[in-house]
A and B are shown apart, each in its own frame.
Chain A
Amino acid sequence: MRRLLAHPSLAIGLSATLLFALLGLVSLVWTPFPIADIDIGRRFLGVTASHWLGTDNLGRDMVSLLMAGTLTSFLVAALAVGIGAGIGVPLGLLAAAWGGPVEWLVLRFSDFIFAFPAVIVAILITTLVGPGAINAIIAIGIFNIPVFARVARGGALSIATLDFVAAGRLAGLGNTRIAYRHLLPNIMSLLIVQGTIQMSLGILAEAGLSYIGLGTQPPETSLGLMLRDAQGVFLIHPWLTLLPGIAIVLIVIGLNIAGDGLRDAIDPRLRQGPTNVLA
């Protein structure tokens, strides 16, 4: 742990990320004002003693909205990473451990998924079942699958040639056991780094989807939805647009820096290699 925190970028990125995550979590039990508290008479307030960051077009407290919105954004991105890793990593390991036609199939499948940007998946799901945060989670999650499949396969392939894997095979372990016992633990660090990066992409994607109305719906709130709400009045009250945007930028920078730092800390050889961000 101390070794990890010796990397300044990791420490900064991680604390920024954790700070926002904490703010979001606190919103579960406490916010300065209830976010459903609509009070038209008190709308568009600037910074005041009771409303630290003012109120929005419905008179809702901005601090409370930002806290709750951050939580939603984190949750959507995290669940999407869960979907992506949950399906993508086994696929990647399958490809690496079995090889041959299985590998071919997995690679073609990930190529295929790459043809479906999250927006298109969200459009299709929304047409099917109507808008909602779940759509964003599924759409971003599907987009994450091939990313994790490729990282898992790439990492596993470089380890599969090492002696201890051969020893495992000689000891009579099957492909599944090899993948689970020897390959997976050794690519964990790669996956964590990728997960951090996908988190930041997920938060950006959630913002975009909610902004165009394909993601989180009221009365829930998210940073993207706050931007959608502020859209109509942003020329007169740019404050309402600035705040959620700055929150997104800070969270994403925090996650990216944490990811870079994590990569450096875990494997200095990978330093300065953002190419694997999307490959």
Chain B
Amino acid sequence: MIVYILRRFLGFAATLLVAALVIFLLLDLLPGDPAQFILGMNATPESVARLRMQMGLDVPAPQRFAGWIWGMLQGDFGMSYTQRAPVAHLIWDRLGVTAPLSLFAMLISMVVGLPLGILAARRRGKALDTAIMVLAQTGVAVPSFWFGMLLALLFAVTLGWLPPGGFTPWHEDAGAALRSLVLPSLALALPQASILARVMRTALVDVTGQDFIRTARAKGLTMGEAVWRHGVRNALLPVLTILGLQFAFLIAGTIIVENVFYLPGLGRLIFTAISQRDLTLVRGATIVLIIAVTLTMLVTDLAYGLVDPRLREGPPS
């Protein structure tokens, strides 16, 4: 098990390092001099040179890359020159919106999707199964940001139950903060729940046909007991894989849905940074997103090893 964990961690670190290199090279290739861009076309060569030195642009690229990585390991993501604040601080602030939002969405999608999938599998071929699958087929096809708009129209504008957008910081009014995340999380959860329901159903139908369920039945368990005790746990394996993969989509969706509800999350930060050409900020925010995605994959892999001891031996195929 220890070898398995170590191997996963090594893969995680390697992926992040290469990803950081790709981001660094891409943004470094950018035509034009950031210092010149900040100071404008009328700046004297001396002031440009001075700013380049302040920004550390006069150091050779390999050294700058190493410096960036070393800084990040210590929690220093550099300074944003448009916001005049440490990038780490800015990102941390915005994560207060983006992180709870994606986690809530994940939670809702599991609470809704998995039971529906189990229900459909147990009633396979019946009307309920068909109804759930039609619902899921539709749910997969709905863009979460568009669904968010519809939710806002219904629950915020027509019914007035929840705010249509905006965000009250957690430390001012946690209840209000939570309320402004309800609709966006629901919007994000719909396609995810649909996918989970479909995967759960397929996995459970697959598992139900296998010998160990028959053995459990032969031991005197009812079908419901057998499926619940032996089936669901085994069916969770493919579900776990999809959950890990889907998290990447969820993060992408979060960035987009934030836009619908005017939430001051990571997405907003990135779009402002792009339009103001704040490269340090873009670089920092993208690597944080990639860390989130890669970390989820790592956790999925580890959870996989925990649920299924057979996988600890070799790499999961």
Contacts and interface: CB of A to CB of B under 8 A. Distances in A.
Report, nearest first, the 6 A-B pairs whose CB atoms are least far apart.
A252-B141, A119-B252, A245-B146, A117-B252, A253-B141, A117-B248
A267 interface: no
A275 B26 CA distance: 34
Which applies to chain A's interface (DSSP): helix, strand, loop or mixed? Answer: helix
B15 A115 contact: yes
Contact of B19 (A116, A238, A250): A116
Interface in A208-231: 208, 211-213, 227, 231
Interface string A245-279: 10011101100110000000000000011110111
Interface stretch (A28-36, A120-128, A176-184): A120-128
Contacts of A273: 202
A244 to B, nearest CB: 8
Given A207-B145, A211-B256, 14 more contacts: A112-B19, A114-B245, A117-B251, A120-B286, A120-B289, A127-B279, A127-B282, A128-B26, A211-B259, A234-B153, A235-B164, A245-B149, A272-B202, A274-B199
A118 interface: yes
A38 interface: no
B238 interface: yes
B170 interface: no
B193 to A, nearest CB: 14
A127 B27 contact: yes
Nearest to B279: A127
A252 B140 contact: yes
Given A112-B19, A115-B293, A278-B245, A204 B143 contact: yes
B137 A257 contact: yes
Looking at A115, A128, A245, which has the most chain B CB atoms within 10 Å of its CB? A115
B232 interface: no
Interface residues on A, range: 35 or more
Interface stretch (B53-61, B64-72, B89-97, B269-277): B269-277
Nearest to B260: A231
B132 to A, nearest CB: 13
B205 interface: yes
Given A212-B255, A235-B157, A248-B146, A278 B289 contact: no
B2 interface: no
A112 B242 contact: no
Contacts of B140: 252, 256
A216 B137 CA distance: 27
Nearest to B291: A115
A128 B253 CA distance: 22
B49 interface: no
Interface residues on B, range: 35 or more
A234 B149 CA distance: 8
Contacts of A120: 252, 286, 289-290
A208 B15 contact: no
Contact of B274 (A127, A207, A250): A127
B15 A227 contact: no
A111 interface: yes
Nearest to A122: B252
Interface of A: 111-112, 114-120, 123-124, 126-128, 200, 204, 207-208, 211-213, 227, 231, 234-235, 238, 241, 245, 248-250, 252-253, 256-257, 272-275, 277-279
B304 to A, nearest CB: 13
A76 to B, nearest CB: 14
A116 B271 contact: no
A273 B205 CA distance: 10
Given A111-B15, A119-B252, A120-B289, A207 B270 contact: no
B146 A241 contact: yes
Contacts of A207: 143, 145-146
A37 to B, nearest CB: 26
B291 to A, nearest CB: 9
Contact of A208 (B203, B205, B252, B286): B252
B242 A275 contact: yes
B15 A275 contact: no
B41 interface: no
Contacts of A227: 143, 145-146, 149
Contacts of A200: 141
B186 interface: no
Given A123-B282, A123-B286, A278 B138 contact: no
